[in-house]
């Protein structure tokens, strides 16, 4: 996979379907914006072909619906998914120059900042397309060398920096691959996005 980056942000992503199947419902999206990057992790309910069809539809949705307004995007995604099996999602905008992160999540998605300060951003309970709460935007500002990690519940939630001491120094693509390889659950689809910020 080609490395996606801005002058200050480098990103890696990794996705693995249940039993290494060709079809599944987890996804990781990266889209450049004029002032930074749009990132999204998706976990469609279920597995296999039914989840894969919804995942592909979400890819089409993001082709036309990425901008820095995370509340607008997640509300639009919730409306788009009405009548489907639904999905969990974590959406993030990272400003290239300032390192400001705006995150909104619904369902079992996780966003964590490792570095100068370790921070966990909060996803609200719910299912997009079914039972979706009012969006709550979480914000933080990344410091030089900080690493932001987003992942679905196919990754063990509670690993720490001591479990992967090179998380802050390894290339983002290697970090994403290592997290899935070391902390991914064998019985679930899994997706991970990693963004490193340099001033």
> From the CB of residue 117, how many other CB atoms can be counted at a distance below 10 Å?
11
Q: Which helix H or strand E contains 92, and what residues bound it?
A: strand 87-95
Q: Supply the pTM of this predicted model.
A: 0.95
One pLDDT digit (tens) per residue for the chain, 199 residues: 556 789 999 999 999 999 888 999 999 999 999 999 999 999 999 999 999 999 999 999 999 999 899 999 999 999 999 999 999 999 999 999 999 999 999 999 999 999 988 999 999 999 999 988 889 999 999 999 999 999 999 999 889 999 999 999 999 999 999 999 999 998 999 999 999 999 8
User: What per-residue confidence (pLDDT) applies to 116?
Assistant: 82
* CATH number reported for the structural domain that contains residue 178 in this entry: 3.60.40.10
End-to-end CA distance of the chain: 24
User: What per-residue confidence (pLDDT) applies to 94?
Assistant: 97
Enclosing domain of residue 87: 4-197
* Cβ neighbours for 46, distance < 8 A, ≥ 6 positions apart: 25, 85
User: What per-residue confidence (pLDDT) applies to 1?
Assistant: 52
DSSP-derived secondary structure for 33-68 = ETTEEEEEEEEESS-HHHHHHHHHHHHHHHHH---S
Q: How far from 119 is each of 15, 101, 147, 148, CA to CA, in Å?
A: 23, 12, 11, 9
Q: Indicate the number of domains in the chain.
A: 1
d(CA 97, CA 42) in angstroms, rounded, equals 26
User: What per-residue confidence (pLDDT) applies to 2?
Assistant: 53
């Amino acid at each position: 996979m080609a490395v996606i980056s801005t002058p200050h942000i480098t990103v890696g992503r990794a996705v693995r379907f249940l039993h290494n199947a060709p079809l599944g419902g987890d996804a990781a999206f990266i889209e450049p914006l004029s002032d930074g990057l749009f990132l999204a992790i998706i976990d469609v309910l279920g597995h296999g072909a039914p989840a894969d069809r919804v995942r592909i539809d979400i890819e089409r949705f993001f082709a036309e619906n990425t901008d820095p307004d995370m509340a607008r995007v997640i509300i639009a995604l919730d409306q788009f998914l009405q009548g489907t099996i639904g999905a969990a999602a974590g959406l993030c905008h990272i400003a290239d120059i300032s390192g400001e992160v705006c995150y909104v999540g619904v369902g079992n998605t996780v966003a964590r900042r490792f570095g100068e300060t370790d921070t966990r951003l909060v996803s609200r309970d719910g299912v997009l397309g079914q039972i979706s709460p009012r969006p709550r935007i979480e914000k933080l500002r990344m410091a030089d060398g900080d690493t932001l990690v987003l992942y679905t519940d196919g990754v063990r939630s509670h690993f720490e920096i001591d479990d992967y001491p090179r998380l802050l120094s390894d290339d983002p693509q290697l970090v994403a691959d290592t997290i899935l390889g070391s902390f991914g659950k064998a019985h679930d689809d899994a997706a991970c996005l990693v963004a490193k910020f340099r001033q």
